[in-house]
Structure 1
Amino acid sequence: MTQTTPPGWHPDPGHSGIGTLQERWWDGSRWTDQLRIPPATVRRRRIRIGAGIAAAVVVLAAVGGGAYVLGAGSDDRADSSASPSAPSESPRMPGAPGGGGQDGGQGGGGQDPDQQPMPQTEDGYATDAASGISIPVPDGWTGQSGPIGAGVQTGEYACPGAESETCVRGGVTSAPAQALKIDATTAKAAAQADIKANAEESYGEKIYGGITSHEELRSEAVTVAGQKGYAVRWKVVTKNGDDGYVESLAFPSPNVKGMLVVLRSGFDINAKAPKLSVLDDITKGIKEAEGAGSAAGSGETA
C-alpha cells in the first residue's frame, strides 16, 4: 500500500496461503494489527443455534444441547458494505432463529454448493481452518471441518417443544471470536461475554421453553493448544426437556496473531448424554491444525 491509498480493509499482505484469507486494516500510512474475516465470506444465514456457533459456510448437523438448523431462505445474502468499516467492527454472524429443516437440512430450495462442509483434513479431528485448530472427534461422535468453524456432536433426538427439529445430547463447536461479534481483547473477557448468549441459544427459545435459572460451575484460566485461555461453565435449568451444561471457552489462535477463538459446548443432563468429563477430554485434545504454521505466538493471556 502507498500513502495515497485511503484507509480501509484490504487482503492481508502477510497471509501465508494456509487457511482463510483475512483482511487487515490499512490506516492510510501503515498496516495495523486489526484483522477480520471478509464480510463476503461470512454470510448471514437464518439459523437456530444449539450449543454450537454459526460457523458461516460450515454446514453442521444438530450441535450441542440444542437445535442447529441452517436455512437457505430468501433472506440469505452476502454481507456487503458500500464503504470500509472502522477497524473496531467485525463481520456479522447470523443468530436469528427460524428456517431450515430437520437434521440441519436446507429449507426453501436446497443446499448452496458453498455451504458444503470441508472433508476432514486430519484423521480423527474436525479442523477449523480460520482459527488454525483441530478438535478431536471422540469414538461414536461425528465431526465436521470447515473454512470458518468446526464441530463435533453426538446423540441426535427430536427437540422438546419442536419435534420436527433435531437436537443432540452433546456438542462442541469453534469459531473466531469476531465471527460471533464478541468485542473483547482477552480470553477471559471473551468467555465471560459469550456464556449468556451460548446458554440462551443452546437451551432457550421455544425448543426448551427458556432457562429458569443457572449455576456457575467454573470460571478459571485454562490452557488449550498451548495457549493461555479462560473457561466459564454453567449448569442451566430449563422449562421443557433436559437441563444442561454449557461452556464458553476462549483462547488465542495458535497461528493467527491477534485472533481469539471461542469454543462453545453444550451437554444435556441425561443418562443418555455423554459424561461431562468427555468435554474436558475434548478440550485437552485440541491442537494446532496440521500445516497451519505458527504465526501468532502466545497471543493475549486470560
Structure 2
Amino acid sequence: MTQMTPPGWHPDPGHSGKGPAQERWWDGGQWTGHVRAAPGAVRRRGLRIGVGVVTGAVVLAAIGGGVYLLGEGDGGRPGTAASSPSGAPELPGAPDGGGKDGGRGGDEGGGQDGDGQERGARPPTEPGFATDVAAGISLPVPKGWKGTSGMVGAGLTTGEHPCPGDTAETCVRGGVFSAPAAAVKLSAENPEEAARKDIAVNAKESYGGKSYGKITSHEVLKSETVTVADGKGYVVRWKVVTEKGDDGYVESLVFPSPTSKDMLVVVRSGFDINEDAPKLSVLDEITGGIKAASGGAGGAGGAA
C-alpha cells in the first residue's frame, strides 16, 4: 500500500494463507489492527443471485449478482473509503477508532462476529426496509422477500434454487443490492457515467461464471435518467442471454446519496427470466421506494 491508496478494506498482507481469507483496514497511511472475513471467503457460504453472490458484509449473497455487496469478482468486493487523518471523505462503516498500530497479523484490536462484521458494528434497522448505513439509504423489502441491512451495503433476495451450472451452489431468482460506489471501486464523475460503466460488471458477476456459463449476448432495454430518493440518478438495464440455465435481466442504478450529495450510490439488480422469478414491475417498485435512511430504526431485515 502507498499514500496514494485510499482508506478502506484490502486483502490482509499478513495473512498466513491458512484458514479463511481476511481483509485489513488501511487508514490511508498504514495498516490498522481491524480485520474482517474477506467477502470472497464468506460468499461461498452464501446465496447467488442469478449467478451473483451476496457478500458477507451485507447478506451472504451478491449484489444483484455483484453487490457489495456484492460479487464473484474483485470488483464486487465490499469495502469503504472511510475517513483517515489524511483527510479522505468520511463514510459510515469504518472500524471504530481506526487505530494506527500498523498491525499485520491476527485479530488484534479488531474482533469479528460470525457473519464477518466488526463487533459493535450493528446497522440500525427499520420495519419493512433494509438499510445501507454507508450509503445513507433504505431499500423497501417486497412481500415475501428477505432483506438484510449492513454497515456497508444492503440487500434483498427471493426465490432460492440450485444454480443451473453448479447445483452445489444456491442461486436466487431475484436480488437487489446497494453500496457506495467507492465501496465497489466504481469511479465516475456522475451517475450516468457510473451506471454505464457498472452494467457490464454487474452482468458478468450476475450471470457469468460457472453457475450460468458465459453471457452470449445482451440487449439494452433501458438507459435513462431517473429520480431516486429525491436525487437525479441514472439507470441502465440489460437483458442477457446465458450459456446455461435461465437468461436474466440486470440493472445498474446510480444516484447521489440523500445524506451526502458528494457520494454516489450504486444499486445492482438481477432477475431471472423464469415464471418463478419476480416481475420487472417489482424492480421498478423497489426503485421508487428507495429513501433516505431513517436515523431511528428498528426491526427490518426480514420479509415485509
TM-score by length of 1: 0.67
* Letter of the 1:233 counterpart: R
| 1:214 matches 2:208 | no
* Letter of the 1:222 counterpart: V
CA contact (8 A) 1:53 1:173 kept: no
Partner of 2:186: 182
CA contact (8 A) 1:221 1:231 kept: yes
1:223, 1:283 → 2: CA distance?
A: 9
Partner of 2:145: 141
1:282, 1:221 → 2: CA distance?
A: 16
2:292, 2:38 → 1: CA distance?
A: 28
1:205, 1:39 → 2: CA distance?
A: 34
Shift of 1:86: 11
Deviations 1:32-83 (A, max 9, x none): xxxxxx9957864314764668656223346646899999xxxx9x99xxx9
2:258, 2:197 → 1: CA distance?
A: 21
1:9, 1:181 → 2: CA distance?
A: 11
* Letter of the 2:114 counterpart: Q
Secondary structure of the equivalent of 1:282? helix
Partner of 1:285: 289
| 1:114 matches 2:130 | no
* Letter of the 2:117 counterpart: D
1:142, 1:219 → 2: CA distance?
A: 28
Partner of 2:11: none
1:266/1:85 CA distance change after superposition, 3 Å: farther
1:201, 1:7 → 2: CA distance?
A: 28
Q: How well do the aligned residues superpose, as a CA RMSD in angstroms?
A: 4.2
Secondary structure of the equivalent of 2:253? strand
* Letter of the 1:132 counterpart: G
Unaligned runs of 5+ in 2: 8-25, 92-112, 297-304
Partner of 1:45: 39
**Superposition map of 1:248-267 within 5 A:** 248-267=252-271
**Superposition map of 1:1-302 within 5 A:** 44-46=38-40, 47=43, 50=49, 57-61=57-61, 64=64, 111-112=114-115, 114=117, 118=122, 121-291=125-295
2:148, 2:6 → 1: CA distance?
A: 30
CA contact (8 A) 1:128 1:149 kept: yes
1:41/1:253 CA distance change after superposition, 3 Å: farther
Shift of 1:118: 4.6
2:295, 2:223 → 1: CA distance?
A: 32
2:260, 2:240 → 1: CA distance?
A: 33
Partner of 1:13: none
Secondary structure of the equivalent of 2:147? strand
Sequence identity percentage: 56
Partner of 1:35: none
Secondary structure of the equivalent of 1:122? coil
2:190, 2:36 → 1: CA distance?
A: 23
1:119, 1:183 → 2: CA distance?
A: 25
1:228/1:163 CA distance change after superposition, 3 Å: same
1:149, 1:268 → 2: CA distance?
A: 22
TM-score by length of 2: 0.66
CA contact (8 A) 1:65 1:202 kept: yes
1:274, 1:251 → 2: CA distance?
A: 24
Shift of 1:290: 0.6
* Letter of the 1:271 counterpart: E
- State the aligned residue count: 238
1:115, 1:186 → 2: CA distance?
A: 31
Secondary structure of the equivalent of 1:191? helix
Secondary structure of the equivalent of 2:58? coil
